[in-house]
Amino acid sequence: MGGLSLQHPWAFAFGLLGNVISFMTYLAPLPTFYQIYRSKSTQGFQSVPYVVALFSAMLWIYYALLKSDECLLITINSAGCVIETIYIIIYLTYAPKQAKLFTAKILLLLNVGVFGLILLLTLLLSEGEKRVVMLGWVCVGFSVSVFVAPLSVIRLVVRTRSVEFMPFSLSLSLTVSAVVWFLYGLLIKDKYVALPNILGFAFGVIQMGLYALYCNAMPRQAPKEVDDPMSDHGAAVKAPEHVVNISKLSPAAGIELNTTVNAEPPLKSLGVACANEETIGVSVDKATHIEQV
């Protein structure tokens, strides 16, 4: 049991610290869901971040079970599965019909279809250590693919000269999480845990650098205009928006998703791995930033 062995006290210490950080960021969306419960409406919030977070936790639990010496990954991702499932149930309870159908579709596609396919292929096409290696690279590939999202956040900050979309506390927590889980992976000699967090650390440092650069800058307001088919002669009107900043840590990092959606009226949203800040959206782009193992 490499993660819990007394022969690896530093690995245990970093793994335990990673569990604490990750668990706290799993709980970060609680204000968002309390707001949904109080209003009996999802108010334009998106379910995608929570579905992706659930998929990530499922994937890492499967990896940890195959590896058989990654108990600290099992504990945090088991907690993540329970918490994210509760979030999704609450969302489905109060979401409008179209949002419920969309959420059900991506749940079936990602958490049943894709995960089932990965499970089937790894069981049929490999065995023993080769199966662990195959699944490990799948986990790394998924982690790297979701790291593309911070590029959209960085572009938005540079374009608007505003850091309200990228709170410093969130960037700092993601960076610290990446460092902790990288050291854990390094100490137990698990490259599949360590490698994705190098990229996570790099993005965290870039984000903190941009915060220092633009925290006192004069923001540029550049709301996009869209054609409202209900307005007279198709005149362009400004679409009210709000940004949901969602971040959730998986075993070695966090998932942050900045989702900009149309809403009436603009909402101030609180939240998450790893939290939601009060922001008003200026773009109709959807950005997803997932920082994770």
Q: Average pLDDT of each block of 10 consecutive residues along the chain (293 residues)?
A: 60 92 86 90 84 91 87 93 95 93 94 94 87 91 72 77 72 84 91 89 84 78 45 40 38 42 42 38 39 42
In a domain, 112, yes or no: yes
Note the pLDDT of residue 167: 67
* Contact in structure between 50 and 288 (CB atoms under 8 Å): no
Give the separation between CA 282 and CA 185, rounded to whole angstroms.
39
Half-sphere exposure of 32 (CA within 13 A, CB side): 32
Q: Which residues of 220-232 are buried (b: 16+ CB within 10 A; e: fewer)?
A: eeeeeeeeeeeee
Note the pLDDT of residue 7: 56
- How far is residue 67 CA from its own chain's centroid? 24
Note the pLDDT of residue 231: 41
Note the pLDDT of residue 183: 93
143 is in which domain, residue-wise?
9-215
For residue 240, cis peptide bond before it (omega within 30 degrees of 0): no
In a domain, 277, yes or no: no
Give the separation between CA 215 and CA 191, rounded to whole angstroms.
36
Give the separation between CA 159 and CA 283, rounded to whole angstroms.
10
In a domain, 166, yes or no: yes
Count of domains observed in the chain: 1
What phi, psi does 95 have (nearest 5°)? -75, 150
Nearest to 120 by CA among 105, 138, 107, 103: 138
| The three-state (H, E, C) secondary structure of 178-202, written as one string | HHHHHHHHHHCCCHHHHHHHHHHHH
In a domain, 94, yes or no: yes
Q: Which residues of 31-40 are buried (b: 16+ CB within 10 A; e: fewer)?
A: ebbebbeeee
In a domain, 189, yes or no: yes
In a domain, 246, yes or no: no
Sheet of strand 286-290: strand arrangement: 241-250, 253-262, 286-290
In a domain, 26, yes or no: yes
In a domain, 224, yes or no: no
